[in-house]
Amino acid sequence: MLISAKEIASYLNGEVEGNLDVQVHAPSKIEDGEEGTISFLANPKYEHYAYTTNASILIVSNEFEPTDDISSTLIKVPDVYASIAKLLEKFSDSKSQKFQISSFAFVEKSAELHPEVSVDAYAVIKEHCEIGQRTIIYPHVFIDQSVKIGKDCIIYAGAKIYSNTIIGDNCIIHAGSVIGCDGFGYSKDDQGAYTKIKHVGNVIIENDVEIGANVTIDRATMGSTIIRRGAKIDNLVQIAHNVEIGEDTAMAAQSGIAGSTKVGDRVIVGGQAGIVGHRKIADEVQIQAQSGVISNVKEVGKRLYGYPAIDYHSYLKAYAIMKNLPDLKQQVKELQDQINELKKM
């Protein structure tokens, strides 16, 4: 796709400074920008690249004022990140999609697929599944019986979706993720042996959810594990049985939530953070990376850090003291030695 600065500015409601007719065919990072590509400057710490990049077009904020010569044509916009998201979607949409079922795919006769569905080679779709319009199923996807998938979804290669899972519209599930496997539930007898507890519930994923690569979402023991509308789950996240994730909540890579915990709306969970089971997390809570939440969080918008997680600012103060403990220990020892000498007098 070739598109001019004038066309891009019109699409983004931006203002061009430079050559209106210069054309680009692809986006690029500002530090690696080449002629014929479009890049962006959103973070001020990367401003020095604006004066060296070879990108033909550079998207910047309305407030940006260069302090040196810039060879790129500038497009000034109110929100750089929002503009980039919109532009990347346009470049992505330029790749046409043919809706067809590969002769190497296996689709049970009782499955109901909209005519505008794409199913690639070696995908398996079992009995009584329902798949909506414009949904794309990539190679080696396994969809078990009675799964319902809405319209405009993308299921990437190697994803596994267990029986009775319900997925809404406009969802993305990346490669290798497993949706609806059994939860980690066992009973222990008097001799210490474990007996598996059957999980007969399902997983419900609402509209506009994105699930990263190699994510595992366990089915409920009874009832449903629920991922609410607009949630964004990064790669390598574990969500246990009967968990509920609120609307527009975001979880970074390698975080995990134990069984039956309810996470509110617009919560942010940092990478490698963990939440123990049977807890409730209020709306808009922020959990910093590598933190461990072991109790309910009732305050809306609370910021947490550390293990066990405590108030963000309290943790920073405590950490500042902890870093000085070796010096403080030495000072205490010296004071104790002085006291002992005084006692001898």
Boundaries of domain holding 163: 106-314
**What's the structural domain count of the chain?**
3
In terms of domains, do 172 and 302 share one? yes
In terms of domains, do 225 and 87 share one? no
Task: Answer whether residue 98 is part of any domain.
Answer: no
Task: Answer whether residue 210 is part of any domain.
Answer: yes
Task: Work out the burial of residue 182: count CB atoms within 10 Å of its CB; fewer than 13 is exposed, 13-18 middle, 19 or more buried.
Answer: middle
Cis peptide before 308 (omega within 30 of 0): yes
In terms of domains, do 113 and 72 share one? no
In terms of domains, do 120 and 42 share one? no
Task: Report the CATH number at residue 207.
Answer: 2.160.10.10
d(CA 161, CA 147): 8
For the chain, 345 residues long, give each residue's pLDDT as a single digit of tens. 789 999 999 999 999 999 999 999 989 999 999 999 999 999 889 999 999 999 999 999 999 999 999 999 999 999 999 999 888 887 776 555 678 999 999 999 999 999 999 999 999 999 999 999 999 999 999 999 999 999 999 999 999 999 999 999 999 999 999 999 999 999 999 999 999 999 999 999 999 999 999 999 999 999 999 999 999 999 999 999 999 999 999 999 999 999 999 999 999 999 999 999 999 999 999 999 999 999 999 999 999 999 899 898 888 888 888 888 888 889 988 899 888 888 887
Locate 243 and state its tokens: 């968990």
pTM of this prediction? 0.79
CA torsion sign, 193 to 199 to 204 to 209?
Answer: positive
In terms of domains, do 18 and 78 share one? yes
In terms of domains, do 136 and 234 share one? yes
114, 128, 140, 241: the catalytic one is 241
Give 225's Cβ-side CA count (13 Å radius).
Answer: 30
Task: Answer whether residue 42 is part of any domain.
Answer: yes
Q: Is 174 among the residues known to form the active site?
A: no
